[in-house]
């Protein structure tokens, strides 16, 4: 009986990591930003980013994580709806590229420049 319990315990120890990775992974979207862009005063270099966000409506905290770089945290507004896949919308103003919005699973994240205190 002790031998059977030992075998079961060893099997459980080796099989748990195989299933735990699939059960406990966080869902994230990966998006490619083709050019260096800005949101307000924050500059974001070109590359592939893992995107995660928390919150809903007009107060959403977006985190962009690029391998080997510090995370970039931005404010955005989430407009819920269906999208075909991750994509970004970039505008050109005064020769610079401005990140306007990002389509993610569950909706569109709309980025706005923070309002200055002078207004």
Q: What is the pLDDT of residues 12-49, one digit of tens each?
A: 555 555 444 433 334 468 999 999 999 989 999 999 99
pLDDT tens digit string along 92-107? 999 999 999 999 888 8
| pLDDT higher than threshold 60 for residue 115 | no
Q: What pTM, to 2 d.p., does this model score?
A: 0.70
Name the β-bridge partners of 101.
89, 110
Give the separation between CA 45 and CA 62, rounded to whole angstroms: 16
**What residues does each domain of the chain span?**
29-111
Query: What is the pLDDT averaged over residues 53-75?
Result: 91
Give the per-residue pLDDT at 26: 40
Give the per-residue pLDDT at 24: 36
Using an 8 Å Cβ cutoff, are 112 and 98 in contact? no
E-only strand ranges, 2-117: 29-33, 37-39, 42-44, 47-56, 59-65, 72-80, 87-93, 96-104, 107-111
- Provide the 8-state DSSP code for 113: P
Using an 8 Å Cβ cutoff, are 79 and 108 in contact? yes
Question: What token pair was written down for 87?
Answer: 């994509």
């Amino acid at each position: 009986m002790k031998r059977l319990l030992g075998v079961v315990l060893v099997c459980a120890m080796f099989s748990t990591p195989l299933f735990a990775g699939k059960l406990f992974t966080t869902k994230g979207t990966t998006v490619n930003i083709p050019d260096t862009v800005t949101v307000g005063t924050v500059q974001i270099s070109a590359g592939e980013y893992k995107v995660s966000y928390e919150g809903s409506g007009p107060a959403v905290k977006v985190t962009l994580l690029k391998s080997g770089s510090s995370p970039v945290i931005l404010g955005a507004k989430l407009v819920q709806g269906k999208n075909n896949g991750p994509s970004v919308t970039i505008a050109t103003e005064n020769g610079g590229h401005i990140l306007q919005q990002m389509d993610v699973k569950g909706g569109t994240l709309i980025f706005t420049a923070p309002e200055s205190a002078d207004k």
